[in-house]
Amino acid sequence: MGGWGSGGGRNATKLTSLRRIDLADLRRLNMLREIGPRLFYWSRNGERVASVGVEYRRSCLVLDYRVRNRGEDWVHIREEIPLARTEQKFGGERLWLVCLTCRCRCRTIFAGDYFRCRKCYRATYPSQYEDADSRLISRAEDVRIKLGASGSMDEPFPRKPKWMRWKTYHRLSRKDEIASERFWNMLGELDERF
């Protein structure tokens, strides 16, 4: 495993560049009920940039959308994405989308010309091409943003939100200290080089 030529490569499609439909989002938007077609859309800076018609049925999710390659006409596509259910250990069931290409169960499907799973698009996570220090700093920035701060390592660590346990806050604070130290060491090394 590993070796020359393996992996997606730095030019591989990144998940952040693909639009996606996640079952958790559909559940949160109350779209997993048989009430007819509804519109699911993506926005950028508050403006709608794309949409897909979504209709939930017990056995499948019907997606109705249009795609266009550069210089070509719009093509209307209607896909029925099968749904699978697995029983949970303590009762209930978990809902899965079934990829139409590889037939694997997944929680999220991604939009290219068609909606397929991450593996079928050979899409990679952006963190797969970060070194260990950069990954650590990215995680620290994400935690700061989650706590309501800007994410900048220049600013002090944000105050504890009232909904968070002290034990969790202290754990995140310790991780942030380590990441901050590495961040400033990396900047110092860069400064010495130039």
- Residues 136 and 180 placed together within one structural domain of the fold: yes
3-state secondary structure of 188: helix
* Strands annotated E in the chain: 19-22, 38-44, 47-56, 60-67, 75-87, 93-98, 105-106, 108-111, 115-116
Flag whether 121 is in a domain.
no
- Residues 38 and 85 placed together within one structural domain of the fold: yes
The packing angle between helices 166-193 and 132-146, to 10°, is 130
Counting Cα atoms < 13 Å in the Cβ hemisphere of 63 gives 27
3-state secondary structure of 158: coil
Flag whether 57 is in a domain.
yes
The pLDDT tens digits of the residues spanning 137-190 come to 888 888 888 888 888 888 888 899 898 999 999 998 888 888 888 888 877 777
Model-level pTM? 0.67
The domain total for the chain is 2
Flag whether 4 is in a domain.
no
CB 109 within 8 A of CB 24: no
Total Cβ atoms within 10 A of residue 61: 23
The pLDDT tens digits of the residues spanning 12-33 come to 777 777 899 999 999 999 998 8
Kindly indicate the confidence band of residue 8, based on its pLDDT and cuts at 50, 70 and 90.
Answer: low
- Residues 106 and 71 placed together within one structural domain of the fold: yes
State the pairing for strand pair 115-116/105-106: unpaired
The pLDDT tens digits of the residues spanning 48-90 come to 888 999 999 999 999 999 988 888 899 999 999 999 999 999 9
| Mean pLDDT, the chain, whole residue set | 86
Last residue of a domain, one of 92, 116, 140: 116
Last residue of a domain, one of 88, 116, 144: 116
Flag whether 137 is in a domain.
yes
**Structure tokens belonging to residue 130:** 């970060």
- Residues 98 and 168 placed together within one structural domain of the fold: no
What is d(CA 53, CA 41) in angstroms, rounded to the nearest whole number?
9
pLDDT surpassing 70 at residue 1: no
- Structural domain including 97 reads 15-116
Complete DSSP assignment for 51-77: EEEEEE-SSEEEEEEEE--TTS--EEE
Flag whether 167 is in a domain.
yes
Higher pLDDT, 55 or 133: 55
Flag whether 100 is in a domain.
yes
Flag whether 2 is in a domain.
no
Residue 44, sorted as left (phi over 0), alpha (psi -120 to 50) or beta, turns out to be beta
CA-CA-CA-CA dihedral for 52, 58, 59, 62, to nearest 10: -10
- Residues 105 and 141 placed together within one structural domain of the fold: no
CA-CA-CA-CA dihedral for 37, 43, 47, 52, to nearest 10: -30
- Residues 108 and 27 placed together within one structural domain of the fold: yes
Last residue of a domain, one of 72, 88, 116: 116
